[in-house]
Structure 1
Amino acid sequence: MRLEEASAAIREAFPEAWVDLAVAITEFGGAAVLMIVLAVLYWLTRRREAALVVSYAVAGVGFILVLKTLIGLPRPPEDVYLIAYDGDPYGFPSGHAFAASLVYGGLLLAFDRYRDPVAIAATGVVIALVSLSRVVLGLHYLGDVIVGALVGLGFLLAVHAVVDGEPRRGFALGAVLGVPAVLVTGGDPDALVALGGSLGGVLASTRLGSLPDLRSRLEGGVLVAVGGTAIGAGVALESIVGSLLSNLLAPAAIVAVNAALFVAILLAPAAVGRLAIGPLDASR
């Protein structure tokens, strides 16, 4: 089922000199890059649609963590890893393949690009590359990533139908899935982030309809700078909180920090919109 022989053939065929390329590609299915991509799209493009995909992403984290933990199938042996890895021990299904399928596929649906063959092909290539990079790096078997991508697509279609274009519903679903994820995984950091982000999203999404439109490229640049600073501060604060507080208090604090971080990300346009930033002529 996990296609171990095919996985070994892929690893052996991949030139070790290109490992850095595989590492770069795999990050496009990781939480950090996906968060940055979605945040920038939210700040600079159609905010309701981007917020919808953000809600899919945080809901998906809780779902895939519970699924992986309950199935409990291990990753490949460490002697085939091409990079150091200290994350969760479960390999089936692949979380990166799931996330890539969910987020990039979600962008196709939310931004109404699912009828565009070029957009569909590009999305498929990104999902395939992220998935194969996990096999190349030795962190998953080929079967893990195939199932991960398919489960991601299935989850996307289901949540897209349930949420029905309302980001707040997506974030509420994320909170519902986040609670069992925290309990089943014993407080996995990703589960805490997803739960906190979902709660923050529920609070902030009530203001989406009243956010000001982007007025200029200059304002867009300021928004990315302010929002990026907020993300950096949130990540730093989460690390500090995790190291200073006791094991009993740290999970609740991490959830609170991430709730505040998602509120800051989603409401940053309101704060920047109050600044006197004039329009920038597109021809300049």
Structure 2
Amino acid sequence: MRELGLTEALSNLPDPVVAAFALLTQLGDVWFLFATLGLLYLLAGERIASNPRRSGALLIALSVGALATTLALKATFAFPRPPNAGTASIPPWLPPALEAVYLNVATGSGFGFPSGHAIGTTVAYGGAAAVLDVWNRRKRALVAGSLVGIVCLARLVLGVHYLVDVLAGVAVGVTYLAVTLRVAKGDPTRAFSVAAVAAAVALVAVVVRGVPSEFGPVAVTLGAAAAGAVVWRRLDPTERTVSVPVAATGLALSGVPWVAAYLGDVGLVPSLVAGAVGLSILVGLPALAGRSDGQKNDGTSRTA
């Protein structure tokens, strides 16, 4: 029913074209979305949004919820990917050192319906178009739609999804985005709470369907969503300037627990803690940086 023939029709494209789409698909990968939104949260100024810190936190909350929703739906339907999703032809011009990286980005594993890349990009880029102030709304929507379209096409070219998978992913993303924005009303705490509910539903789904391999990722999203709601509520609302080195360091540190939980298969509770710690570092960094600057200034005053 999902096999409409488009994935097969795109399977014979030249290697350079496939390699280009393997790179473009990273625009919808979890690491890229969270890194981009994390930097926006930490560094964006008022030219991007009237309240960039609040808008950035809202977008992070939306993406956490999108990931949780993806995990819930994949576990519920448990539909497989296309037969050759786990294999890829290595371009002859690719350096041997990059072959493993290429295979990682050009293939897919796990369940295929709906497309997580389609859900994630729709929520992240669609959310950015909805809450940011840069350009005008029409141009933001056009850019967001183009990015979503490119990522969806890349998933088809790589043969890791059927057309139905990406169309369903976009529909789910639009629905989740619309519902969460309506419930949150611009409040990141509410958006994180919606994400926590989605993660709890995902946890029930993987337990009921018996998919132990997804316990860790679901627990990470649940811990992240719960921590985000708590930390943002307690965060000093005063805008704190974060330097680029501090932002880059904080973003890297926030990702360490998530990567460790994902790669280490550490179990339910450690994954829950990892998600909470990682999100707390990211969301709490501006307040921590502000306190550190304040303590330095107090010390300088005393010394003077």
Q: CA deviation at 1:237?
A: 4.5
Q: Matched residue of 2:10: which SS?
A: helix
Quick check: 1:81–1:139 contact (8 Å CA) kept in 2?
no
Q: 1:63 aligns with which of 62, 69, 75?
A: 69
Quick check: 2:86–2:109 contact (8 Å CA) kept in 1?
no
Q: Which residue of the partner structure matches residue 29 of structure 2?
A: 30
Q: 1:222 aligns with which of 245, 253, 256?
A: 245
What CA distance in whole angstroms lies between the structure 1 residues aligned with 2:163 and 2:135? 26
- Amino acid in structure 2 at the alignment position of 1:178: A
Q: Which residue of the partner structure matches residue 118 of structure 1?
A: 139
> Aligned residues, how many?
266
Quick check: 1:29–1:130 contact (8 Å CA) kept in 2?
yes
1:142 matched to 2:163? The reply is yes
Q: Which residue of the partner structure matches residue 53 of structure 1?
A: 59
The equivalences for 1:52-201 within 5 A come to: 52-78=58-84, 81-82=87-88, 83=103, 85=107, 87-88=109-110, 90-112=111-133, 115-185=136-206, 186-187=211-212, 188=214, 189-201=216-228
Q: In 2 relative to 1, CA 237–94 (structure 1 residues): closer, same or farther, beyond 3 Å?
A: closer
Quick check: 1:193–1:258 contact (8 Å CA) kept in 2?
yes
Q: Which residue of the partner structure matches residue 281 of structure 1?
A: none
> What TM-score comes out, normalization by structure 1 length?
0.84
Quick check: 2:114–2:168 contact (8 Å CA) kept in 1?
yes
1:4 matched to 2:4? The reply is yes
Q: CA deviation at 1:48?
A: 0.4
CA RMSD of aligned residues (A): 2.4
> What TM-score comes out, normalization by structure 2 length?
0.79
1:275 matched to 2:293? The reply is yes
- Cα displacement string for residues 232-268 of structure 1 (whole angstroms, at most 9, x for unaligned residues): 432454368x46x5xxxx2101111210111110011
Q: CA deviation at 1:174?
A: 1.4
Q: In 2 relative to 1, CA 19–174 (structure 1 residues): closer, same or farther, beyond 3 Å?
A: same
Q: Percent identity?
A: 27
Give unpaired runs (5+ residues) of structure 1.
Answer: 279-284
Q: Which residue of the partner structure matches residue 48 of structure 2?
A: none
Q: 1:265 aligns with which of 282, 294, 299?
A: 282
What CA distance in whole angstroms lies between the structure 1 residues aligned with 2:252 and 2:7? 40
- Amino acid in structure 1 at the alignment position of 2:39: V
Q: 1:234 aligns with which of 250, 257, 264?
A: 257
